[in-house]
A = this chain, B = another copy of it.
């Protein structure tokens, strides 16, 4: 079958994307728009970042002095996912904007983080839409402490939730991982990429169920090779491979506005050629929604709908 966009992140606790200030009415309308183009999975990108959090977690407010949020977003997202027949993935809490923090601190904090996962499951695990866990750290090459964290998290998540699926969405060190004028910038080292991810996938196989590589740091010319490597490795280790077809444009001085449809389409088609059937996007609500604050996202939505019709025709003529 041809490729489909079936999942999006929900980026309410954001690091770099300005906020839309939606209430439940606006979110309801946006879930309806997602549903209309076939999105059946929503992934909350993180439970919180530093002091700002998505639900009134006793543990986070006590241990990390987080602010009590004005709305329980987890409850709201679950309710909407249930209304629209979608699956919700819970993204884990991030203690610091500096992800690559001190390893000793990471080990020391695990006890709190483990209890936090228990709290989440206790509050929301019974909800019909609760469908899995997103491990929110992003790596682009082998990083032993974070891979160890992936293992620890996914083991515990699966244990408490009856083996619900886990997903990660790593980067890749393509040519656009650096700004064009950075002297360190270089073409993608495909061998290093394969070596790194062979090791990582071997380690996390059986614990992480789905990997959706971000496609935005890889130049259009590099994509076919990079995606072929990812597919080969995922098949080797029995991991489900999706693609994270980023819907924001990395090539423009305003960082970031919606991507040009031609580029989005090209990236989807390259993934399809590599044998990938499911795409995730970062993210629908800002960059390809008919409700987005960025009007060019409305156009991206319309173009994607037209493309979807083409894809359906292709499939039915097979």
Interface string of A51-79 (1 = CB under 8 A from B): 11000000000000001011000000000
Chain B residues positioned under 8 Å from A261 (CB to CB): 19, 21, 70
- Are A303 and B220 closer than 8 Å at their CB atoms? no
Q: How many residues of A contact B (CB 8 A)?
A: 43
Q: Which of B262, B294, B297 contacts A52 (CB 8 A)?
A: B262
- Are B17 and A252 closer than 8 Å at their CB atoms? yes
Question: Does A205 touch B at the CB level, under 8 Å?
Answer: no
Interface string of A8-28 (1 = CB under 8 A from B): 000000101111111100100
Chain B residues positioned under 8 Å from A297 (CB to CB): 21
Q: Name the distance in Å between A256's Cβ and chain B's nearest Cβ.
A: 8
Question: Does A188 touch B at the CB level, under 8 Å?
Answer: no
- Are B295 and A258 closer than 8 Å at their CB atoms? no
- Are A70 and B21 closer than 8 Å at their CB atoms? no
Chain B residues positioned under 8 Å from A258 (CB to CB): 18-19, 21
- Are B296 and A293 closer than 8 Å at their CB atoms? yes
Interface secondary structure of A, over-half rule: loop
- Are B260 and A21 closer than 8 Å at their CB atoms? yes
Chain B residues positioned under 8 Å from A118 (CB to CB): none
- Are B19 and A259 closer than 8 Å at their CB atoms? yes
Question: Does A148 touch B at the CB level, under 8 Å?
Answer: no
5 contacts between A and B (CB under 8 A): A18-B252, A18-B254, A21-B299, A22-B299, A23-B299
- Are B296 and A67 closer than 8 Å at their CB atoms? no
- Are B20 and A296 closer than 8 Å at their CB atoms? yes
Interface string of A116-143 (1 = CB under 8 A from B): 0000000000000000000000000000
Chain B residues positioned under 8 Å from A19 (CB to CB): 249, 258-261, 296
The winner among A21, A266, A302, A303 for most chain B CB atoms within 10 A is: A21
